[in-house]
Amino acid sequence: MNTITEALVVEHDVFSAVFGLIERVLPDLRALAEVKRLAGLVEGMLQRHAEAEASLVYVALDHVLQDQGEIDRLHQDHQEIDLRLKQVQAAGEPQEARRLLAAALAASRQHFDFEEEMVFPMIEKALQAETLRELAKAWRRQGRALARQSV
């Protein structure tokens, strides 16, 4: 993981693996509280990831992404995923909560694909290689600091 985009792709891969595990157990979950706990886990993971993207990458590229119209899509995707995860927490029935969580996971995967296919190549084109490496270092430091706070 030398660059920020490589680091973010690796994190996407880890999230996708976790999502796969959740999707395998989700149909069998009958307790609403279990579904809500899983949604809370996903929400926490994605929140840290979105904050890192916003603070480290997109701020540096807002002008480029805005010109392409991509920044609006990124924000809209994040809002949609956040809304679905909040709806899981508000759900009154396990079936509804499972459906909403599955939809949030699918929307997250689509968002990751969009970033990797459209946004990350723009980032790599717009920023110097050294800047991409420095952003990766900052991302790792930020992740370590957050991990220490949560212990």
pLDDT tens digits along 20-49: 999 999 999 999 999 999 999 999 999 888
- For residues 42 and 111, is the Cβ–Cβ distance under 8 A? no
**Which of the pair, 10 or 71, is modelled with greater confidence?**
10
- End-to-end CA distance of the chain: give it in Å, rounded: 25
At residue 97, what is the residue type?
A
pTM for this entry: 0.87
pLDDT above 90 as % of the chain: 54
- pLDDT above 80 for 107: yes
